[in-house]
Structure 1
Amino acid sequence: MAAAAAIALAATLLVACGGARSGTEGTIALLLPEAKTARYETFDRPFFEERVAELGDFSVLYSNADQDAAKQQQQAESALAAGAGVLVLDPVDAKAAVSIVEEATAQNVPVVSYDRLIAGGDLAYYVSFDNEKVGVLQATALVDALDRRGEAGGGILMVNGSPTDSNAALFRDGAATILDDSGLRVLAEYDTPDWSPDKAQEWVAGQIAQYGDEIAGVYAANDGTAGGAISALRAAAADPLPVVTGQDAELSALQRIVTGDQYMTVYKAIKPQAELAAEVAVTLLRGGAVTAPMEIDGVPTTLLQPVAVTKENILQTVVADGFWTLDDICTPDYAEACRAAGIL
């Protein structure tokens, strides 16, 4: 509901002006950072492209950088050479992407910073989620779960996101506001290169060898790293499994939540985010002006609200929104766990 309200507010502030071009109205480049996180190909791209198609006769030039900043630079240059009138850019590296913004600005092409805030340049708009709140939700859930287990003073591992992702620092900062006063002991901390589940798994395995039963919980910044951490814990026959957080409401994570392997994830309503980015891009391409509910570093900004998801509220969140269906989650392999969790 909060996300919908934010979108409704932002939509009222998008003011289109200027006429449509003859024939095809123009080209919008959508530049996404990687495919290891399932959301980009499964949700962001199709939601964005569908909304653009609803708004007029536009061409969407899509590229995925496969977590390679140099490749993203080349993709942006190719999009500009192909005549893209707006770039919607989710940067692999927030600092490196400044050069993309500068090159686009020099050609009078506006840049919308999508999901991750680019570290500089003359940005036209920024749409994302309240990323510090993501960390707050994760850490709050972790602390509460460990309190209920009687492990309020236990040790935790911090499996953070990629060091080149500006959001990863915000997740960590938000989590710190809760963890610093929680009494939990941070045994070790790791910034996961490229958000790689394999690297997260390898690192957690090393920490298990060092700390063993001292590990009561794992702060995992997203569902991919959570999956890697859980694989390492399973391989070490951890019993009981430590409390593990996550983010992105990936299908595999929801199934791990149902079985009890993962404690929580953070659901971000990607459809309104992608649709707003599409609306902003179309308005800019038509020569319109955009404003927003707030500014960050002088950039018109909309931040949507994330939601913590546990076994108790799967039905009221991801299922109610149609993000995933019960059939998606409760396949035959998970039907029994779903019944035990009370969602079937």
Structure 2
Amino acid sequence: MNTSLRRTVVATAAVSMALGMAACGKAGSSSSSSTTSAAATGSTAASGTGTIGLLLPENQTTRYEKFDKPLIEAKIKELAPNATVQYNNAAGSAATQAQQVTTMINAGVKVLIIDAQDSAAIKSSVQAAVDKGIKVIAYDRLAQGPVSAYVSFDNVAVGTLQGQGLLDALGSKATPSAKIVEIDGDSADPNAADFKSGFQAAVKGKVTIAYDASGLWKADVAAQKASAAINQIGAKNIAGFYSANDGMAAGIVTSMKNAGISNLPIGGQDAQLDAIQRIISGTQAYTVYKAYKPEADAAATLAVDLLNGTSITSVATTTKTSGSGDSVPSDLLTPQLVTKANVESTVVKDALWSASDICTAAYKAACTAAGIQ
């Protein structure tokens, strides 16, 4: 038996033994805020062989720390009680994330879930991990390199929904001469190109994109770009704004307010709490809701399947070609458009946000008017 095959057999046997012991014992609680601990039964069978690494890209967007991380950890714990999750956030730095991959490799992780800060820059790190026998899952953003699986949403469809949401909000003002300001995401994120493609295809010939710039997924940068657009085009000549996500929309709304602009549609995505509150109060027209739990559950399931050496085809039912030309088994989920009319039947119904989360004192009257109790 060759060395590589022997390592695979030993690792699989160790994980199987750990799972068997977990069935007879009681799983322990997390040992720290960033780690899901192995079962505290006195057994160390899975130690070092059942570690799954989780690397998320930034912490300016609320979703990663509030939803993705805990949901992924919880699902892994459910599926593999003796598996350990080692976690880090790149805080918006591709260089930091590359170092975190190296740390994960040295720590002996067997599977690595990466939401790439820069999908192209991470390629060499992905290759380094794979060279050490680590299986890599691209999460939310399709990293370049030899990744084993990818889970995200249909991101062109996200952009299409954003375009339709803007056109719906414009109503009769959606004419070929209507000037739109477009603030895109970071070009280092391949999803940003998909969002832009879907959005521009949806609005082509129906409005004019008079200003197009990247906000880098940062509220302050988006605010600066929006202010530049207002100065260039003129506040009275703008029909609406497109923001690739809700975080940037917050910055753009501030710039609009500072310029004395009101009642112009703007939309985003991610269904952040502040965005839902803006939708309820009428300062944001729509958002695109990408349910975090199905995405997190799919990533965790893929990770455990790869850890155990079992097939991933029940989850990864399609393929997606990455920027490096790799055809990657993929799970692409369906997004939803959220407006004031369906806040309750989407994000409230799914318990992303409760009515009490949304309807704080400042928004209570707006919630009552919208029928959200």
TM-score by length of 1: 0.91
- Structure 1 residue 206: Cα displacement: 1.7
Amino acid at match of 1:61: Q
Match of 1:224 in 2: 247
Q: Does 1:187 align with 2:210?
A: yes
In structure 2, the partner of 1:311 is 340
Greater mean alpha carbon deviation, residues 79-88 or residues 283-292: 283-292
- Structure 1 residue 342: deviation in Å? 2.4
Pairing 1:53–2:77 present:
yes
Q: Quick one: which amino acid aligns to residue 112 of structure 1?
A: I
Q: Output aligned runs, 1:236-255, within 5 Å.
A: 236-239=259-262, 241-255=263-277
Identity, % of aligned positions = 41
1:288 and 1:98 map into 2 onto residues whose CA distance is 25
- For residues 237 and 372 of structure 2, the distance between their equivalents in structure 1, rounded to whole angstroms, comes to 33
Distance 1:44 1:309 in 2: 20
Indicate the residue corresponding to 1:264 in structure 2. 286
Cα distance between partner residues in 2 of 1:267 and 1:281: 24
Partners of 1:104 and 1:28 in 2: how far apart?
12
The letter of the residue matching 1:144 is D
User: 2: CA distance between counterparts of 1:179 and 1:270?
Assistant: 27
SS in 1 for 2:146: coil
Match of 2:365 in 1: 336
| C-alpha contact (below 8 Å) 1:163/1:192 kept by paired residues | no
Partner of 1:77: 102
Q: How does 1:1-344 map to 2 (within 5 A)?
A: 19-21=16-18, 22-24=45-47, 26-55=50-79, 56-119=81-144, 121-149=145-173, 153-182=177-206, 184-193=207-216, 195-211=217-233, 212-239=235-262, 241-291=263-313, 292-297=316-321, 298-344=327-373
**Ranges in structure 2 where 5+ consecutive residues have no aligned partner:** 1-11, 19-44, 322-326
User: Is the Cα–Cα contact under 8 Å of residues 88 and 111 in structure 1 kept in the other structure?
Assistant: yes
- 8 Å Cα contact 1:20-1:286 kept in structure 2: no
Partner of 1:70, secondary structure, is helix
Asked whether the 8 Å contact 2:166–2:265 carries over to 1, the reply is: yes
SS at match of 1:134: helix
> For each residue in 1:124-144, what CA deviation from the matched residue of structure 2 results, as whole angstroms up to 9, or x when unmatched?
100000000000000011112
Given that 1:151 and 1:216 are in contact with CA atoms closer than 8 Å, whether structure 2 keeps it comes out as no
Which segments of structure 1 move beyond 6 Å, counting only runs of 4 or more? none
User: 2:362 is paired with a residue of what secondary structure?
Assistant: coil
Provide the rounded CA distance (Å) in 1 between the counterparts of 2:366 and 2:281: 6
Q: Deviations over 1:111-157 (max 9, x none)?
A: 000000012x2111000000000000000111122124566641100
- Asked whether the 8 Å contact 1:143–1:152 carries over to 2, the reply is no
Matching residue's letter, 2:171: D
Quick one: which amino acid aligns to residue 303 of structure 1? L
CA deviations on 1:162-188 (whole Å, 9 max, x unpaired) are: 111110000000111111131x11111
- Alpha-carbon deviation of 1:20? 4.1
When structure 1 is superposed on structure 2, of 134-143 and 333-342 the one drifting more is 333-342
Matched to 1:93, the amino acid is D
Report if the CA contact (8 A) 1:256-1:262 is conserved: yes
Does the 8 Å contact 2:176/2:208 carry over to 1?
Answer: no
Encode CA deviations 1:27-57: one digit per residue, 9 max, x unaligned. 0000000011110001000000111111221
State the alpha-carbon separation in 2 of the partners of residues 48 and 40 from structure 1. 10
- Can you give the 5+ residue segments of structure 1 that lack an aligned partner in the other structure? 1-16
Closer, same or farther: CA 264–20 of 1 in aligned 2, 3 Å: farther
* 2:295 partner SS: helix
Task: Write the letter of the residue equivalent to 1:321.
Answer: D
In structure 1, what is the Cα distance between the partners aligned to 2:300 and 2:88?
15
Q: Distance in 1 between matches of 2:318 and 2:253?
A: 38
Report what 1:14 is aligned to.
none
CA RMSD across the alignment: 1.4
Q: CA deviation at 1:59?
A: 0.8
**Within 1, Cα distance between the matches of 2:87 and 2:228?**
39
Q: Which has the higher contact order (CA 8 A, sep 6+)?
A: 1
Cα deviation digits, residues 73-96 of structure 1 (max 9, x gap): 000100110111111000000101
**Distance 1:260-1:57 versus aligned 2 partners, 3 A rule:** same
Q: Report the TM-score, using the length of structure 2 for normalisation.
A: 0.84
Pair 1:319–1:148, CA change in 2 (3 A):
farther
Aligned residue for 1:122, secondary structure, equals coil
Separation in 1 of the partners of 2:99 and 2:348? 39
